[in-house]
Amino acid sequence: MPASVIDSNVVLPLILAQHPHRKTAAAWWEHCDDESVHFTLPARMSVLRLLTNRTLMGDGILTPEKAWDALSMLTSDARAVVGDQEPPGLNLIWLRLVRGREPTPNLWTDAWLAAYAETVGAEMVTFDKGFRSFAIPRLRVLTG
């Protein structure tokens, strides 16, 4: 399987057994090669924010420490690549992806993730159909 940049909406079901997209996300994850899935800082921060959000998690809300541990289980897996550095050339692609668009709540982060995927030559993996609006060479929108 090709290198991938993972969206937070794919990471969350990998952590939460009761998540409705768990089966689909887990099936995709099981086919990933070692050192092939990029966990970017924006995606990791989003997952941590969601795991500690009472509105989303209800009684299952995690403490910051437990959220960190849950995410660390995935990022310490052999398939994971933890991306903390912005690859050279990302900003030019990021700007190209947002230029001429109407403002939307997730525009900047989604465009950054798409630009990261394009910059490193990886496939963007998400459940978000909105990524189809970005002209990036490799996109996988999971369904189910």
CB atoms within 10 A of CB 8: 22
Average pLDDT, the chain: 96
Q: Are 24 and 143 in contact (CB under 8 A)?
A: yes
Taking 80 as the threshold, does the pLDDT of residue 94 lie above it? Answer: yes
Full-model pTM: 0.95
Question: How far is Cα 124 from Cα 117, in angstroms, rounded to an integer?
Answer: 6
Local confidence band at 6 (pLDDT 50, 70, 90 cut-offs): very high
Give residue 137's Cα distance to chain centre.
Answer: 17
